[in-house]
Amino acid sequence: MYNINTKTNMTKLPLLQIPKGANEFYDSIMVDIEPDLVLGELPKLKEKYKDESPKSLKERGMRYYEAFQKFNEMLKVKTLELDDKAHELHSFVIGALENLSKGQDDEDCNQIETHIKKIK
Partner 1 sequence: MNHLNKYLRLFSEQRLIHFEGFEHSSAPEEVEKEIPKEDSNENLGPDIDLPPTEESIQSENADTEQVQDEASSENANGLTERDKRNREIQSKNIDVFSKNIQYTLESKDALQSRLQSWAEASVSKHVDLLDDRLSDVHAQMSRDMEMQSRVLNDCLHRLSNMDRQGISLIDELSQIDPSDDRYRQIKTLVNNNINEANRLSTDTKPMQINLNQTFDEVDIKLDEKKGTYTDTYKDEEFDANDDAIIDQFEDGYHSRKIADDLVSALRNDNVDSVKYDLAIDKAQNVFSQMNPQQRELFEQWINDEISNAGLDQRLKFDGTGNLKIES
Give the number of other CB atoms < 10 A from CB of residue 104. Answer: 11
Q: Candidates 39, 77, 80, 107: give the one binding partner 1 (CB under 8 A).
A: 39
68 class by beta-carbon count within 10 Å (0-12 exposed, 13-18 middle, 19+ buried): middle
40: left (phi over 0), alpha (psi -120 to 50) or beta: alpha
Q: Is position 96 an interface residue for partner 1 (rule: CB under 8 A)?
A: yes
**Closest CB 89 distance from partner 1, rounded Å:** 5
Whether 13 and 89 have beta carbons less than 8 Å apart is answered as yes
**Closest CB 100 distance from partner 1, rounded Å:** 6
Whether 62 and 103 have beta carbons less than 8 Å apart is answered as no
**Closest CB 82 distance from partner 1, rounded Å:** 5
How many angstroms separate the first and last alpha carbons of the chain? Answer: 34
Q: Is position 17 an interface residue for partner 1 (rule: CB under 8 A)?
A: no
Q: Is position 76 an interface residue for partner 1 (rule: CB under 8 A)?
A: no
Residues that bind partner 1 (CB under 8 A): 1-13, 15-16, 18-19, 21-23, 25-26, 36-37, 39, 42, 45-46, 49, 52, 54, 57-58, 60-62, 64-65, 68, 71, 75, 79, 82-83, 85-86, 89-90, 92-93, 96-97, 99-100, 103-104, 108-109, 112-113, 115-116, 119
